């Protein structure tokens, strides 16, 4: 296998076994397979020589209107078509809107001298567990109307299908839609539970009790029912906007997906309102934040709720001391870019973030935050409020340590003693 990229510095890091981002187990795979089974190159023409399949896995960043930028996809398709010296299968792995397969086929028809079959093969990898998801996929969706191309894909995925055949052959259009539909469904579950959490806040109900009762209904299931500060990352926000934009272009109003996107902005604002009330205002306050990545087991801070929270806190005159097990470097870059770096002090040690703070906010549910030394937190902080933005802590333990607890959709527990 040859991995192609135009960034020479990134290729050198990969050859040294260094992954440019944090993804558990990925560095182990690279070190184990390079250079016998895995190589890296910036020479596309040489890399595809003799290849039966070429995968396009470039980014599709959003335009201002939310539509997906396909320029990188079309550029690679053009280059592969021009450089191909034999028949091959061109696989669209990038997340692309419905109709992209047809556009790429037009590019191939214009430039290719050999038969190039375009196949849509969306990825369903979770950041933080991508290696496991790839090795043990729930399904492998292959969108093609070409029997020979499907045979190549079947051969490629055969090592992952020994227990059962997970390949699902569909039309290219269906394959393109399923990726967006899956992310929209999961994001909608998150937004819905966050709305239920706000209802619990004003009624005195406990969203954790509601979640468990809902999740044990086999028609619903337990996954993605956790209330919190909302979703972020490189997929859900971008993909929902792209899906809504595609629907608008085709005259189909996707109101549920649009509502899920709008609802996702509310939890952070709701938390800030509670903080203002409980702390008697935020001007001049110091807020400790645990977690900057949008989810655990990644250093990705793109559209992370923690960064939205920091923006809200700056507008209200607060200062921030923040920590994260993996995302300090990526967060520093993003904070500088969005103009909030001036109010944030980043520290490696989570307890150091609590020094002199008026409150603590748990913004990412890293495992190391779930059972903290609460007595130590109380001794370090100036104030005594803990705002659990991910419902990761045990409320009774927090109050027993002499700290006030407020979660997302959970009853407030005041300090004991």
SS3 labels along the chain = CEEECCCHHHHHHHHCCCCCCCCCCHHHHHHHHCCCCCEEECCHHHHCCCCCEEEECCCCCECCCCCECCHHHHHHHHHHHHHCCCCEEEEECCCCCCCHHHHHHHHHHHHCCCCEEEEECCCCCCCCCHHHHHHCCCCEEEECCCHHHHHHHHHHHHHHCCCCCCEEEECHHHHHHHHHHHHHHHHHHHHHHHHHHHHHHHHCCCHHHHHHHHHCCCCCCCCCCCCCCCCCCCCHHHHHHHHHHHHHHCCCCCHHHHHHHHHCCHHHHHHHHHHHHHHCCCCCCEEEEECCCCCCCCCCCCCCHHHHHHHHHHHCCCEEEEECCCCHHHHHHHHHHHCCHHHEEECCCHHHHCCCCCEEEECCCCHHHCCCCHHHHHHHCCCCEEEECCCCCCHHHHHHCCCEEECCCCCCECCCC
Q: For 266-406, give the CATH class.
A: alpha beta
What is the tens place of the pLDDT at every residue in 292-309?
Answer: 999 999 999 999 999 999
Are 2-172 and 266-406 equal in CATH topology?
yes
Q: State residue 166's pLDDT score.
A: 92
List pLDDT tens digits, range 152-185: 999 999 998 888 889 999 999 999 999 999 999 9
Whole-number Å distance between alpha carbons of 330 and 16:
21
pLDDT score for 132: 94
Per-residue pLDDT band at 233 (split at 50, 70, 90): very high
For 372-405, write each residue's pLDDT tens digit: 999 999 999 999 999 999 999 999 999 999 999 9
The rounded mean pLDDT for the chain is: 96
Rg (CA), the chain: 24
Which residue out of 200, 235, 354, 359 is catalytically annotated?
235
Which pLDDT score is estimated for 161?
Answer: 86
Residue 191 has pLDDT above 80, yes or no: yes
Angle at 209 between CA 206 and CA 213, to 5 degrees: 145
Percentage of residues of the chain with pLDDT beyond 70: 100
In sequence order, the 6+-apart residues with CB closer than 8 A to the CB of 387 are 271, 274, 275, 278, 359, 360, 361, 362, 406, 407
On the question of pLDDT at 417 being above 80, the answer is no
Domain ranges (residues) in the chain: 2-172, 266-406
Is the whole-model pTM more than 0.75? Answer: yes
78-107: pLDDT as tens digits: 999 999 999 999 999 999 999 999 999 999
Query: Average pLDDT for residues 11-20, to the nearest whole number?
Result: 91
- At residue 259 the predicted structure's pLDDT band, cuts being 50, 70 and 90, is very high
In the residue annotation, 235 being an active-site residue is answered as yes
Dihedral of CA atoms 262, 264, 270, 276 in degrees, nearest 10, equals: -100
At 164 the pLDDT is 83
pLDDT the model gives residue 402: 97
Average pLDDT over residues 1-7: 96
CATH superfamily of 2-172: NAD(P)-binding Rossmann-like Domain (3.40.50.720)
Burial class (CB in 10 A: 0-12, 13-18, 19+), 45: middle
């Amino acid at each position: 296998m040859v991995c192609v990229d135009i960034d020479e510095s990134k290729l050198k890091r990969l050859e040294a076994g260094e992954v440019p981002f944090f993804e558990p187990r990925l560095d182990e795979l690279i070190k184990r397979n390079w250079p016998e089974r895995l190589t890296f190159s910036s020479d596309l023409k040489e890399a595809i020589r003799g290849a039966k399949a070429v995968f396009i896995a470039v980014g599709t960043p959003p335009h201002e209107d939310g539509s997906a930028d396909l320029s990188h996809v079309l550029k690679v398709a053009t280059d592969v078509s021009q450089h191909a010296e034999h028949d091959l299968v061109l696989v669209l792995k990038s997340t692309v809107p419905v109709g992209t397969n047809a556009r790429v086929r037009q590019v191939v028809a214009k430039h290719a001298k050999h038969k190039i079959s375009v196949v849509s093969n969306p990825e369903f990898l979770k950041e933080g567990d991508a290696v496991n998801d790839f090795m043990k996929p729930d399904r492998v969706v292959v969108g093609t109307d070409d029997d020979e191309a499907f045979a190549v894909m079947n051969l490629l995925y055969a090592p992952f299908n020994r227990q059962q055949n997970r390949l699902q052959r569909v039309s290219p259009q269906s394959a393109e839609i399923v990726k967006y539909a899956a992310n929209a469904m999961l994001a909608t579950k998150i937004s819905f539970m966050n709305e239920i959490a706000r209802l619990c806040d004003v009624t005195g109900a406990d969203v954790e009790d509601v979640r468990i009762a809902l999740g044990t209904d086999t028609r619903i299931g337990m996954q993605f029912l956790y209330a919190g500060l909302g979703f972020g990352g490189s997929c859900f926000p971008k993909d929902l906007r792209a899906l809504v934009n595609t629907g608008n272009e085709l005259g189909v109003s996707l109101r549920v997906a649009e509502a899920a996107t709008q609802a996702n902005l509310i939890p952070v604002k709701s938390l800030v309102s509670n903080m203002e009330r409980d702390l008697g205002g935020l001007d001049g306050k110091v807020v400790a934040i645990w977690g900057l990545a949008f989810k655990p087991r990644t250093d990705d801070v793109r559209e992370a709720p923690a960064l939205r929270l920091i923006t809200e806190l700056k507008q209200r005159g607060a200062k921030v001391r923040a920590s994260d097990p993996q995302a300090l470097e990526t967060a520093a870059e993003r904070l500088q870019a969005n103009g909030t770096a001036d109010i944030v002090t980043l520290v490696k040690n989570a307890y150091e973030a609590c020094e002199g703070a008026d409150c603590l906010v748990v913004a990412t549910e890293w495992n190391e935050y779930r059972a903290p030394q609460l007595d130590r937190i109380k001794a370090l902080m100036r104030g005594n409020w803990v705002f659990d933005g991910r419902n990761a802590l045990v409320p009774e333990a927090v109050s027993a340590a002499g700290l006030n607890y407020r979660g997302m959709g959970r009853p407030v527990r005041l300090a004991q003693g």
